[in-house]
Amino acid sequence: MRLIAGIDVGNATTEVALADVSTTSAPRFLASASVPTTGIKGTVRNIPGIVDALRRATQSVEVQLSDISLALLNEATPVIGDIAMETITETLVTESTMIGHNPVSPGGIGLGVGRTMHIRDLVSATRADQVIVVIPREYDFEIVAQMLRRALEAGVPIQGGIVQGDDGVLIANRLGQPLPFVDEVAHIERVPLNMMAAVEVAPEGQTVRQLSNPYGIASLFGLSPQETTLVIPIAKALIGLRSAVVIRTPAGEVRTRRIPAGALTLIGERRTETVGLDLGAEAVMDVIAQVAPLRDVSGEPGTNVGGMIGRIRQTMGDLTEKPVEEIKIRDVLAVDCQVPQRVAGGVAQEFSLENAVGLAAMVNTDRLLMERVAQALMDEIHVPTELGGVEANMAILGALTTPGADAPLAVLDLGAGSSDAALLRRGEAVRTTHLAGAGNMVTLLINSELGLGDFEAAEEIKRYPLAKVESLFHIRNEDNTVRFYKEPLDPRLYGRVATIQGDRLVPIPGNHTMERIRQVRQEAKQKVFMRNALRALSAVAPAGNLRLIDFVVIVGGSGLDFELPQMLTRHLANYGVVVGSANVRGTEGPVNAVATGLVIHYFERKKAGLV
């Protein structure tokens, strides 16, 4: 028996295929293993992961690590990617002119207009004062209700209120007449007193109408046409909310500021173009297609994009231990998205959806990196180690072990850091491409668009289907099917949207609906995976024509995604392309293609007498 191990270090997982190559017709595969990659791909910190994977594979067939006579390492995709995101608009509130938020339970109903007045000053109010009462938390709801009732009985025309605590309903219920109360206003001390204000609370299941309409606000405050144009951002920010307050202060305003996003200069082999990021991701991607192949990219200094490109260069320089000037960006993927941001100067922790752009960039590395890893591995396990073949070619060899697969075929590997494709046609050299943006970019988009601030939670949303916990005994899946449980679920899950991770339900932070999370997840996959699948396949297709590719096999972790293969199959069917997930060696599914390919490649070289 002569044992060899094919080792594939990926961005996310390290995979091993263990085989006996003393056979004559084909290698005899004995075991496979997959562990999370330790450290950044292509660095010596990969060694613990590799050793772990090798141990698992050898232990499962009861052989020793030292029984391995040769370890073959992939000549890794010579690219590494990085991602960055910046918002390019910002909403600013000066002098507290607007409170628009969605407390769970605002009180009362209707629209009230009057001057803001602290509740302690109510005693001095007269019948002539239209009043909006400002109620800090230290006032108990029953006392507040009593004070308001007295004032109303005395003829003070109270129009509504702004409440700091979660008491809106309790106060409104005790007045005997319906008045609107917006509650849970955290920074009530910032509400200016003795200013004209409008309070609106919509009925359950509806949203504010008057205050989300610029002319509605103009009618309430008697604004001139010039002043009306200034309240458009206010009205826009209040759309879709159940309760809102607008306060008219002499100098106050709400502004949407466009942050100068800057321009990207795309240096191609034949031409160079500059494109402003504020034209949107589509425009950037069009220009990239025009100047392809890219040699390098630079961002306008002193702007957002300049900062993003600078950070990416710095990270890449640190990883590859090269001077920053020598880092060349070979591909960029730009994606538009909307990011919830806290409104600067808001009084109730309002959020506003701002435009943002995400960038994924990819730089070339050199072969030296993996050679260093091979040397370090040899020192660690005392087994001869060598680089066994270019990753893309190995992936094709592995993919060809899928039952029913044969050349010509294209292999698509949508990984964590980059999107790779390779095309094999009989009698031709394998064509390969590596593009920026893959799974990590999808996670970044999910994290940003849902405002999670938690990369792990976003990763789980990407990976697992959703369910809503509808009772302590049943959940509703995202396809509307229902599953019942014999034992009650954890009450902390009740009413929450969760990811289904095998037998476990993991609640998702925040108040997003299942539909919204699903939409964000699928759109993120569309924006990154779909676009890159098309770009990558076009890049390797004969004459750049996707329709000339007949078969595409998905390999790598993306093939395990619960919806991506179907999304790709459906989408690429439009181009007459057949897409399916690989089933390496008929047993492994879409993973282990490169590790398997390394073994096969060695075996063929051995048969040909080359080794």
Partner 1 sequence: MSVEPVYQREAVAESPAIHVVLAPGVDPRLFRWVEVGAEEEGVPCRLAQASAQGLAAAAYEAAQASRLGVGVGVGADRVLLHEAHMPVGQPVWAWPSNGAPAEVCRRAGCNAGRFVKRMPLRLEEAAVATAGQAPAAGTEIQDVWAPEAIIQAIARVLERRGLA
CB of 189 to partner 1, least distance (A): 13
Residues 535-574 that bind partner 1 (CB under 8 A): none
Please give the order of strands across the beta sheet that includes 3-9.
Answer: 28-36, 13-20, 3-9, 68-75, 385-390
Which residue's CB is nearer to partner 1, number 120 or number 382?
120
Among 36, 488, 576, 586, binds partner 1 (CB under 8 A): 488
Q: How far is CA 511 from CA 102, 167, 326, 490, 516, in A?
A: 11, 21, 45, 18, 10
Among 60, 94, 146, 219, binds partner 1 (CB under 8 A): 146
Backbone φ and ψ for 545, nearest 5 degrees, come out as -105, 110
Whole-angstrom distance, CA of residue 345 vs CA of residue 349: 9
Whole-angstrom distance, CA of residue 309 vs CA of residue 88: 15
CB of 516 to partner 1, least distance (A): 15
Which residue's CB is nearer to partner 1, number 435 or number 475?
475
- The count of chain residues that interact with partner 1, using the rule CB under 8 A, is 34
CB of 123 to partner 1, least distance (A): 5
Which residue's CB is nearer to partner 1, number 117 or number 381?
117
| Binding region for partner 1 (CB under 8 A) out of 139-147, 301-309, 433-441, 552-560 | 139-147
Q: Does residue 351 sit in helix, strand or coil?
A: strand
Is there binding between residue 142 and partner 1 (CB under 8 A)? yes
CB 572 within 8 A of CB 580: no
Whole-angstrom distance, CA of residue 254 vs CA of residue 344: 10
Which residue's CB is nearer to partner 1, number 38 or number 173?
173
What is the CA angle 57-59-64, rounded to 5? 100
Residues 171-190 that bind partner 1 (CB under 8 A): 173, 184
Q: Crossing angle for the helix pair 514-525 and 564-572, nearest 10 degrees?
A: 60
Which residue's CB is nearer to partner 1, number 204 or number 325?
204
Which residue's CB is nearer to partner 1, number 28 or number 120?
120
What count of residues does the chain have?
611
Is there binding between residue 137 and partner 1 (CB under 8 A)? yes
Which residue's CB is nearer to partner 1, number 142 or number 227?
142
Is there binding between residue 461 and partner 1 (CB under 8 A)? no
Residues 492-531 that bind partner 1 (CB under 8 A): 492, 494-496
- Number of Cβ atoms within 10 Å of the Cβ of 383: 18
Beta-bridge partner residues of 81: 362
| Binding region for partner 1 (CB under 8 A) out of 84-92, 134-142, 331-339, 533-541 | 134-142
Is there binding between residue 129 and partner 1 (CB under 8 A)? no
> SS3 for 500-519, per residue?
EECCEEEECCCCCCHHHHHH
CB of 142 to partner 1, least distance (A): 7
DSSP string, 466-503: EEEE-SSSEEEETTS-EEE-SSPPPGGGTT-EEEEETT
Is there binding between residue 482 and partner 1 (CB under 8 A)? no
Is there binding between residue 106 and partner 1 (CB under 8 A)? no
Is there binding between residue 477 and partner 1 (CB under 8 A)? no
What is the CA angle 557-293-328, rounded to 5? 75
Residue among 96, 99, 93, 248 at smallest CA distance from 163:
99
Among 38, 471, 477, 538, binds partner 1 (CB under 8 A): 471
CB of 162 to partner 1, least distance (A): 15
Interface with partner 1 by CB under 8 A: which residues? 104-105, 120, 123, 136-143, 146-147, 150, 165-170, 173, 184, 204, 470-473, 488, 491-492, 494-496
